[in-house]
Amino acid sequence: MIHLQTARRWLRKRHSVLPGFGLTLGFAMLYLSLLVLIPLSSLFVKSASLSWADFWNTVSDPRVLASFRLTFGAALAAALVNAVFGLIVTWVLVRYSFFGKRLVDAMIDLPFAMPTAVSGITLTALFVKTRGLGKLLYDWFGLEVAYTPLGIMIALVFIGLPFVVRTLQPALEDLDLDIEESAASLGATRFQTFRLVIFPAILPALLTGFALSFARALGEYGSVVFIAGNQPGKTEIAPLLIMNKLEDFHYREAAAIAVILLLASFLILLFINIVQWWSRRYAI
């Protein structure tokens, strides 16, 4: 038995298409270091040139705190909206057939394909209160969208929806319909079937899509900067504040603010990995 396992390992190694583990691991680590690790480490090194007191004074400045509150609050609100409506959109695409379904499915990826600046200009032109949909909302409800936190949230919803839909779609497609039929045959209502059978099965994918949408929204700049209005303390997002610091040659302060966003993104990615581990660990 031992010789058979040794022979299998030898044949697998000999007939492998790719080079050996050591060589591929070396290339992978080199590539990862050049593109990710070294740039990120330089960010920490730059912010470390500040003393702890200077670092704290930078990130606790009222203008910086206001940008953090707006950035994290709008990103969280947009991710929650995408989680709810992304689930509805995914359900329609997976469970129903209708005319134009392929077109709707392709439109989901439109925020991926569009340059972020184009998205921002388009949303601003649509929701400005002097024309278009923004004028209707302002005339009928007195609601201003462009140059307000609401406009920022709408832009983040726009760019974050594909992350939820594309994460949920495989989970719903792989869901066995026989389980739902078995629940119905046992007397479960449609709501009970969804709550007790379907939702627990797709919950890991939904949480992953939510986290990806939230992480994407934290660092969004191009589609937000046009519709935000960029008023310090009101509609100024953290990425824009970083750009302003760089333009004023305050590189260390910009690095300090960027470190906070980077740590937040790292925690989100850690959450995604924990959810994926949990889904594999307790998969039926």
Question: Is residue 33 located within the same domain as residue 92?
Answer: no
Domain count, the chain: 2
Average pLDDT, the chain: 83
Question: Is residue 90 located within the same domain as residue 200?
Answer: yes
Does 4 score more than 70 pLDDT?
Answer: no
Question: Is residue 138 located within the same domain as residue 94?
Answer: yes
- Choose between 126 and 3: higher pLDDT: 126
Question: Is residue 224 located within the same domain as residue 157?
Answer: yes
Question: Is residue 43 located within the same domain as residue 167?
Answer: no
- Choose between 46 and 214: higher pLDDT: 214
Whether 126 is in a domain gets the answer yes
Does 283 score more than 60 pLDDT?
Answer: no
Question: Is residue 24 located within the same domain as residue 117?
Answer: no
Whether 114 is in a domain gets the answer yes
Helix axes 149-173, 62-95, angle to 10 degrees: 40
Q: What is the pTM of this model?
A: 0.82
Whether 8 is in a domain gets the answer no
Whether 5 is in a domain gets the answer no
Q: 23-73, pLDDT tens digit by residue?
A: 777 778 888 777 777 777 777 777 777 788 888 888 889 999 999 999 999
The confidence score (pLDDT) of residue 264 equals: 86
Question: Is residue 31 located within the same domain as residue 133?
Answer: no
Question: Is residue 43 located within the same domain as residue 155?
Answer: no
Does 10 score more than 80 pLDDT?
Answer: no
Question: Is residue 111 located within the same domain as residue 26?
Answer: no
Tracing tokens 């839909």 back to the chain, one arrives at 165
Whether 94 is in a domain gets the answer yes
Question: Residue 106: which domain range?
Answer: 50-281
Question: Is residue 94 located within the same domain as residue 32?
Answer: no
Whether 1 is in a domain gets the answer no
Q: 242-267, pLDDT tens digit by residue?
A: 888 888 888 888 888 888 888 888 88
The confidence score (pLDDT) of residue 12 equals: 53
Whether 248 is in a domain gets the answer yes
Provide the CATH number for the domain around residue 131. 1.10.3720.10
Whether 202 is in a domain gets the answer yes
- Choose between 179 and 202: higher pLDDT: 202
Question: Is residue 126 located within the same domain as residue 263?
Answer: yes
Of all residues in the chain, the percent with pLDDT exceeding 90 is 19
Question: Is residue 141 located within the same domain as residue 220?
Answer: yes
